[in-house]
Structures are given as C-alpha cells and as structure tokens.
C-alpha cells in the first residue's frame, strides 16, 4: 500500500517530509488538508493527530505518524537502502553527528528563523504588518547561530560532514522562505553558509517540492 501524507504543499513541516520522500525516490500520495477551512481541527483529522497539526504519514493500515522530524527519521530508516542515505546508517559515528545537527536545527536554528518567516508571511495574511521588534530580536539570535554554522561549514561541506543528510535537509523549508525576506543577507554575507545553501537548495528533490511552496506569492 502506498504511503499517504496528509498536509499542504506550502507548509514548512509538510515539505520537510516530501523532500525526504523524493530523496528516497518513493511513491506517495499527498492528501491536501485545507488549513484555511480548519480541516486540521476537525474530528476526522484529529483522529490521526490529536494535536491538530500537519503533516501526518500513514504507512498501510497499521502505522500513523505525526511530527515531521519523526516522519523523516522513519522514512530514512525504513528505506535506508533506497535513494540517498540520509542517516549514514553504515557508520555509527557519522550517524551520531547527523543526529547532533538534527537537534541543532530543531533547538537552535528553527526557534530563531521561524518567527521571522512568520512575521513576513503569516502576519500579512492576518491583516497585520510585520512586527519589527520581533524580527530584530530574532535576526540577532539567528545571526549568532549562523556564525557557528559558518565556522562549521568552513571545515566540512555539510553540517554533519562531507555528506548530505537529514541534518541539512531539515533546514530547507524555513530557509527557502527566509531567503525571500529582507533578512536574506544573514545567509548571503556568510560565504560558507551561502555556498551550503546554494548546494542543498539546488538538489532535484527539493526543486520538485519548491514548486508548490507558494506561500506569500502574489
């Protein structure tokens, strides 16, 4: 039975999963969830994820997963012999480094970048102007994180080493939207971070997904 992914093509968390599925060359069905109609808060969807958030992955009739990073880890492990090795499953030390940088993205990078993306993409939909104080505070936080990334990426091509992995992939959705904001210079002015971003955002799996990432486009 084909994998079923419930989500939205423009959603950062949904695209985190779809990128991993494309890296694995897997067939899957994307079932749209109408966020604007509140479909994710209705009982049929809540039966899949009681927190009412996308995405949700169904693998057959006996497994339902939510939380995008948990889903990408499952995909990378179950299909480890298919497509791109996203977890370095043949080398325990490399695999450990992948896990470290997955945590860094989740605990350091996203908390700084997501409020900026929210202010420039979600606030206008709600009829609000970006809150510059929130933007400025998180630009400062993100700059400090990216200074560490710049140092790390001066030593290796990717975050966990000289190989592409989930550690890099997880950065794609939010950074894609961030690079459309006036704050993109935070990446562009750091040469190793910029080279890394140019590399990972040019991968065919991501380019397929980016076609549907039209949040905020006129």
E strands present in the chain? 3-7, 28-32, 56-59, 64-66
Answer whether residue 216 shows pLDDT above 70: no
Residue corresponding to tokens 């992995």: 165
Q: pLDDT tens across 149-187, in order? A: 999 999 999 999 999 999 999 999 999 999 999 999 999
| Residue, of 217 and 149, whose pLDDT is higher | 149
pTM of the model: 0.95
Tell me what pLDDT residue 1 has.
Answer: 57
Mean pLDDT (the chain) is: 95
Answer whether residue 218 shows pLDDT above 90: no
Tell me what pLDDT residue 13 has.
Answer: 97
Tell me what pLDDT residue 37 has.
Answer: 79
| Residue, of 2 and 105, whose pLDDT is higher | 105
Residue 166: φ, ψ to 5°: -55, -30
Rounded to an integer, what distance in angstroms lies between the CA atom of residue 117 and that of residue 131?
A: 11
CA atoms within 13 A of residue 14's CA, in its CB half-sphere: 25
Tell me what pLDDT residue 126 has.
Answer: 86
Tell me what pLDDT residue 34 has.
Answer: 84
Tell me what pLDDT residue 217 has.
Answer: 59
The answer to whether the Cα torsion of 138, 141, 144, 147 is positive or negative is: negative
Q: pLDDT tens across 27-85, in order? A: 999 999 988 777 898 888 898 999 999 999 999 989 999 999 999 999 999 999 999 99
Q: pLDDT tens across 81-136, in order? A: 999 999 999 999 999 999 999 999 999 999 999 999 999 999 998 889 999 999 99
Closest CA to 213 of 158, 161, 174: 174
């Amino acid at each position: 039975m084909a994998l079923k992914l419930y989500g939205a093509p423009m959603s950062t968390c949904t695209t985190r999963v779809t990128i991993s599925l494309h890296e694995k060359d897997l067939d899957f069905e994307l079932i749209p969830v109408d966020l604007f109609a509140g479909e994710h808060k209705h009982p049929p969807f809540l039966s899949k994820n009681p927190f009412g958030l996308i995405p949700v992955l169904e693998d057959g009739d006996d497994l339902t997963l939510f939380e995008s990073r948990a889903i990408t880890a499952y995909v990378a492990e179950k299909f480890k012999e298919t497509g791109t090795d996203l977890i370095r499953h043949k080398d325990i030390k490399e695999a450990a480094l992948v896990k470290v940088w997955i945590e860094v993205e989740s605990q350091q990078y996203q908390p700084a970048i997501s409020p900026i993306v929210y202010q420039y993409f979600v606030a206008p939909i709600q009829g609000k102007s970006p809150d510059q104080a929130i933007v400025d505070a998180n630009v400062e936080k993100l700059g400090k994180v990216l200074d560490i990334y710049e140092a790390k990426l001066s030593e290796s091509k990717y975050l966990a080493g000289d190989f592409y992995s989930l550690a890099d992939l997880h950065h794609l959705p939010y950074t894609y939207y961030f690079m459309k904001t006036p704050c993109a210079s935070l990446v562009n002015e750091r040469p190793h971070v910029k080279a890394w971003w140019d590399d990972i955002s040019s991968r065919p799996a991501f380019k397929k997904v980016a076609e549907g990432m039209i949040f905020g486009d006129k």
